[in-house]
Amino acid sequence: MTHAIHGPTGTVLLTGFGPFPGVAANATARLVPLLAQTAASAFPSHVFHHDVLDTTWGAAPGRAMALIARHRPSLALHFGVAASARGFRIERQAHNICRLSPDATGCLPSDARLSQDGPDLHPVSIDTAKIEARLKARGFPVSLSDDAGGYLCNAVLYHSLTATKAVAAACRSGFIHIPADLEGPPLSFPDALEGALEIVRACLEDRDAATIQYLAD
């Protein structure tokens, strides 16, 4: 079930994940609802929808696409955990691959590719360099990544980019990995929430600037 926090204009979709093998409690399942609530107060001109995706090959990618088709957001930000993350890891692209790893139900992907006729790569549509600079200026550990992995984080990003391109050119999508353990360092849970809000702020500023330029043209 999705949850909507209402405001007069603009729509943002935020997603996290539930547990999966090796991660009994996914930090994004706690982070994303609080982020949606905090962002709704900080940006009252936008509607924030959030959802915690089941970490399954059969459900998560399709669920992300369905949420985008239903809500038609101007921004879709997806959050996941990675044991190798040393802070915020901003993904720059999704790969058309599936790693043969079991999901939360023990199932494997049905194919080695996410889409038989889709591109090998989907570049994200958020300004990753701007986000990196903003987080660094605020003192948060951050890095850029060209490899979202072959697991469900990559799968959701790939399908989200497919869906947002189909909705509208102005619809932006991106993915942020955070450490699986938010006890700190490198990130505590309050740090993760504050930094995630800064990511939302940077993306919304870009969207508003693009809208103004569009109207001017």
User: In this predicted model, what pLDDT tens digit does every residue of 103-162 receive, in sequence order?
Assistant: 999 999 999 999 999 999 999 999 999 999 999 999 999 999 999 999 999 999 999 999
pTM of the model: 0.91
User: In this predicted model, what pLDDT tens digit does every residue of 77-103 receive, in sequence order?
Assistant: 999 999 999 999 999 999 999 999 999
Q: Cis peptide before 44, with omega less than 30 degrees from 0?
A: no
Contact 57, 103 (CB under 8 A): yes
- The residue segments making up the domain with residue 198 are 3-216
Pairing of strands 3-5, 47-53: antiparallel
* Tally of structural domains, the chain: 1
Residue 59: count of CB within 10 angstroms of its CB: 15
CATH number reported for the structural domain that contains residue 145 in this entry: 3.40.630.20
